[in-house]
Amino acid sequence: MEIQENHTIWMQKAIACAQEGSTPFGALILNQQSEFVSAFNSTKKDGPTAHAEMNVLQKLKQLDYQSKNELVLYTTVEPCPMCMGGILWAGIGKIVYGASIEEVSKIIKQIKIDSHTLANKSWYQPEIIGDVLKAECLALFEGWN
């Protein structure tokens, strides 16, 4: 079975995950059977590296897949350099994000190195798709501190 290419549905699930954690940051990893694992940012509880993407990568062993390259990671905000490094080391084939680092850096502190820059330095080139439900993802920052 092919991965459902409706990015809107999966980004809505990532947004719901962020809302569940009372944070703007939610992520999920999807396999070809449309099974997924999800996580939200838990840095206030678990420390500075507990970003949504890092947390969901920790759940990767719960998914059934033949190759990590067939997996898709959805995230409400473009992965920061730390998270993008983890995603690359994990071998994820596609990354889909909502709001860009550049946009989010106007709201909170960010290391302004975009995911494409890191991917271009990698031994493989994952597909990167941005701006999926961007307005909804940026709205997660309203009232958040």
- The string of pLDDT tens digits covering residues 12-33 is 999 999 999 999 999 999 999 9
**pLDDT level of residue 145 (50, 70, 90 thresholds):** low
Q: What angle do CA 117, 97, 86 make, to 5 degrees?
A: 55
**pLDDT level of residue 2 (50, 70, 90 thresholds):** very low
Enumerate the β-bridge partners of residue 40: 26
Which residues form the catalytic set?
53
Phi, psi of 46 (to 5 degrees): -110, 0
pLDDT digits (tens, 9 = 90+) for 68-88: 999 999 999 999 999 999 999
**Pairing, β 26-30 against β 36-40:** antiparallel
Q: Is 91 exposed, middle or buried (0-12, 13-18, 19+ CB in 10 A)?
A: middle
Predicted local distance difference test score (pLDDT) of residue 87: 98
Q: At 68, list the tokens.
A: 């990590």
The C-alpha atoms of residue 93 and residue 66 are separated, in whole angstroms, by 12
**Which of these, 52, 125, 132, 128, lies nearest to 94 by C-alpha position?**
128
Q: At 69, list the tokens.
A: 């390259």
Each residue of 102-140: b (16+ CB within 10 Å) or e?
ebbeeeeebeeebbeebbeeeeeebebebebbbeebbeb
Lowest mean pLDDT segment, chosen from 4-13, 57-66, 105-114, 118-127? 4-13
Q: At 38, list the tokens.
A: 């999800």
